[in-house]
A and B are shown apart, each in its own frame.
Chain A
Amino acid sequence: MIGFVLRRILLMIPTLLVISMIVFTIIELPPGDYLESYVAELQARGETVNEDEINFLREQYGFGQPVVQRYVDWVWGMLHGDFGYSFEYRLPVSDIVGDRILLTIVVSLATIIFTWLVAFPIGIYSATHHYSWGDYGLTFLGLLGLATPNFLLALVLLYLANVWFGTSIGGLMEPKYLDQAWSWGKLVSVLEHLWIPVVVVGTAGTAGLARRLRANLLDELQKQYVTTAKAKGLSPAKVLIKYPLRAAMNFFVSDIGHLLPAIISGAELTAIVLSLPTTGPVLISALQSQDMYLAGSFLMFLSTLTVVGVLVSDLALAVLDPRIRLEGGQSR
């Protein structure tokens, strides 16, 4: 088992290297660089361009150097915690992203927990009562949740929250707490605002998860070993929890790997609508303005999350399913 974990962790290194190459290629792909578009923008506004300053910047950030050299510098920098410099913000990337990452993680984790808490009971109920009115009703609600565009739901909830609870529009906290140190009041304010993005981002995921859990559980409930368990004299609830639910967890655990990046990237549009101080809006503007180091670091961040997510789900699967754990005669 330890060997398995080690091998999986070591395997992440080449994976991330390949991803970094692809990311770097993508951010290099558009013709020109940030400075060129910056110069073009200044000229369009009729401002004079200081050639010396541009050349200095060009020198400073190594735009003159060959591609391979810049790639190596970029990767080397990231390994040392230096994610490069954002031209747009004129700040180091880590300064821009730092604050936002914490809030992004808070929103994402809350969304995942919300999704699970809602989807699990629904999925189990639908599977054990399939083709009942309850099942049909929940299916209808689920489809409604899947089909409603996130931004629309976001606007509706913003309005309702403002009218009913007096919550301020947009953001993750009352404006007065912005740039303040963490305090009890700030925390309460964050919690007050948090539920809207969580519900908005989580709705579609919840509906999907509930449907998948229902389908998987239905398959498992038909199987012979469920009858065997029942024939032993176990009560129906115990049978359900110990056998088919356990087997239906497999798909769920293998889903974790995709859940993390999907939630973080999927939340971007919502984040713009709700003007959340998370990472999403920053990524989109960085991509638009060819702010290459900022965009690159973001993409790397998302990729790392995916790879870590897959690792977590693989390890969880191995713990859950003895067939995977003991595969190929691994020692027990």
Chain B
Amino acid sequence: MAAGNLTRRPSRKRAPPAVPKDNLVTVRNLRIAFQEHDQDVEVVKGVSFRIEAGSTVALVGESGAGKSVIGQSIMGILPKIARVTAGEILFADAKTGEVTDLAQVDQDSKQYQQIRGGRISVIFQEPMTSLSAYHTIGDQISEALFLHRDVTHSEGMDLVVEMLTLCGFPDPSKAVKRYPFELSGGLRQRAMIAMALVCRPALLIADEPTTALDVSVQAQILKLIKDLQAKLGMAVLIITHDLGVVANMADEVIVLFHGKIMESGTINDIYTKPKHAYLKGLFGAVPHFDMKPGERLISPADLTLVSPMPEDNAAKEKEEAKRPARALLEVRNLTKEFVARKGGFFGASTENKVVAVDDVSFEIREHECLGLVGESGCGKTTLSKMIMRALAPTSGEILVHRKSGTVDLARNRDHGGELNQAIQMVFQDPFGSLNPRMTVFDIIREPLVIHRIGDRADHAVKVQELMRLVRLDPRFLTRYPHSFSGGQRQRIGLARSLALDPELLILDEPVSALDVSIQAQILNLLKDMQSELGLTYLFISHNLAVVDYVADRIIVMCQGRIVESAPREVLFRNPVHHYTRALISAVPYAELDRPLDLSALQAGDGTAPSAWPPPFTFAPGQKMEFLDLGEEHKVLVAVGATKKDLPK
């Protein structure tokens, strides 16, 4: 009976009521339900808001808040199991002067097809999967144009090239013939924006447009959206969980929680006088650069819980800080070259050498957290794989200093031994890194099984202990990963990595796939465990604020080289290297009085060392040296450069 009820809208038709003049979109009492197992689950519960023509409205909330579903309902691209059960979405098109209730229009009708892509457009989070790999950029962009505008093929292609120019493509007339996989992530997102805007829509829905991008690319894309908005006079509905992005983009903010609006208002009201506890909690969960020593993130999900942190922890931390730190892991002149062969067989083969990690040296001290910061492609993952011995270095040493003596991991190929137990890894994707067909118990004890430690009874004791350590209820042990949220899964991954009592944990972007409130919980957990168990961390991330929160010392990597290294406080107080400064300046703050300096952004990639000012410029293979600035602060400069050569 429920299946027969799948009409998309209430059948009673009525004339759309008048809407205030400037409102482009007026959403009134919108309710959306998903049909699951013959039951309606309401995901949007009576939401009302408006978008004024030409303005930017931000929908803020965490995964499952219903923010993307609202965007999809305006676009008419709701999944099949979803339907609008009540409410209206009034779209007042200034071009035609008509007011349409989009909630009443069949998603597959001609009428909606004309609005979609023509008057309302959308860009998504993941620029690679949002574009088809089988069609050229030009084909995919012009398609929308030919659908909605009456233009000839050559006129159309000219308009596409014009749009690509507007979107900052370096060589637009060539770019139309490129395939998405030939472009970088930033350029793909620019292509996606060009596709959305080529018909000059009245409203752009940007669904997490920069979440998958590096911080400097994110700043460029945000700037692009703002510029184009000013040029084309469109309204933007930006859907995001990043309060820093919101602060830089929005005029009005709507905060969603479990399908309901918690708070809404102008950006000023929201940021200066947050009223609702959830919103305050969100602000408290965002790591920022000026946290006081010992200040903890507060996750809104924790609000009702007592903090699990032992009281004497702060004292313990101090005590540990006094102990002279011994290096646990020492990396010396580590280099990894990849050789890509083109052609082959009977054709002439050419070798293309890529230096992924270029003469890198650093040390990780016992009980410290070393932060490794860099953008995609900088070599940080290659580096961590070499420490895990998943990749063999081309040259250099990776020395582990243990009580039993010093071992060079670069040469020691003895797998399965106790060295493998001493270094463990936590992965980025909490969904892909757990086997969906194993119970939590089996997942966590698997390292013990592999290393033939103890029997099943021992494992049960150990696993219970690990579950308590990562603050999960031991009763969950018989469940499978799919019944856990992202944050809980990451805890399971953490428990697995701790099963062998490792000395060093490599954390590869452990929180970048999580919502801010969950991220705050995991970061706090990591901090607590470090002091409880005396662990040593190598924390890899592209998020400077996160690294700032957990790390004691930080190294910054770019194009396979370390460009700057310093203790945490020093690096953020006094960044010296051009690249570090660019990175820090590209982080959006969740504060209104500290907007991104968008005018300072270069149009190209800030990650090209050839574009840096001297003495930082380097070409591939060029010899560079470190300049010691005191306080363990080192920066990579041209040979012979002194402190005087550094920019102020």
Contact = CB atoms under 8 A, between A and B. Distances in A.
Contacts of B77: 227, 230-231
Contact of B346 (A7, A233, A242, A332): A7
A332 to B, nearest CB: 8
Contacts, number: 89
B117 A323 contact: no
A3 B134 CA distance: 22
A322 B179 contact: yes
B561 interface: no
A3 B349 CA distance: 12
Contacts of B347: 3, 7
B159 interface: no
B181 to A, nearest CB: 6
Given A3-B347, A233-B147, A227 B124 contact: yes
A45 interface: no
A223 interface: yes
Contacts of B124: 224, 227-228
A242 B179 CA distance: 16
The listed residue with most B CB atoms (<10 A of its CB), out of A227, A230, A232, A323, is: A232
Contacts of A243: 132, 134-135
Nearest to B198: A232
B113 A233 contact: yes
B108 interface: yes
A195 to B, nearest CB: 36
B118 A233 contact: yes
Contacts of A233: 113-118, 144, 147-148
Nearest to B72: A227
Interface string B112-146: 01111110011010100111111110000001100
A130 B180 CA distance: 30
B195 interface: yes
A8 B253 CA distance: 59
A292 B196 CA distance: 67
Contacts of A332: 177
A234 B134 CA distance: 17
A81 interface: no
A231 to B, nearest CB: 5
A272 interface: no
A326 B108 CA distance: 36
Contacts of B143: 229, 232, 234
B75 A231 contact: yes
Nearest to B341: A328
A228 B188 CA distance: 13
A247 interface: yes
B411 interface: no
A220 to B, nearest CB: 10
Contacts of A225: 129-132
B293 interface: no
A50 interface: no
B203 to A, nearest CB: 12
A320 B132 CA distance: 13
Given A230-B116, A236-B108, A329 B134 contact: no
Contacts of B135: 242-243
A227 B179 CA distance: 19
Nearest to A224: B129
Contacts of B129: 223-225
A11 B118 CA distance: 50
B182 interface: yes
B345 A7 contact: yes
B402 interface: no
B342 interface: yes
A295 B177 CA distance: 52
B582 to A, nearest CB: 30
B46 to A, nearest CB: 26
Contact of B134 (A6, A11, A236, A246): A246
Given A223-B129, A246-B134, A322-B133, A232 B179 contact: no
B97 interface: no
Interface string B159-183: 0000000000000000001010110
A323 B345 contact: no
Interface in A5-19: 6-7, 10-11
B113 A234 contact: yes
Nearest to A234: B147
A99 interface: no
A329 B342 contact: yes
A-B pairs, top 5 by smallest CB distance, nearest first, are A233-B117, A232-B117, A233-B116, A232-B144, A224-B129
30 contacts: A3-B347, A6-B346, A7-B345, A7-B346, A7-B347, A10-B346, A11-B345, A11-B346, A224-B124, A224-B126, A224-B129, A225-B130, A227-B77, A227-B130, A229-B132, A231-B77, A231-B121, A231-B122, A232-B195, A233-B116, A233-B148, A234-B143, A242-B135, A243-B132, A247-B132, A247-B134, A320-B134, A323-B181, A326-B179, A328-B343
Interface of B: 75, 77, 108, 113-118, 121-122, 124, 126, 129-136, 143-144, 147-148, 177, 179, 181-182, 192, 195, 340-343, 345-347
Given A231-B121, A232-B147, 16 more contacts: A7-B347, A10-B346, A224-B124, A224-B126, A224-B129, A228-B122, A228-B124, A228-B195, A229-B132, A229-B143, A233-B117, A234-B113, A242-B135, A323-B181, A328-B341, A329-B342
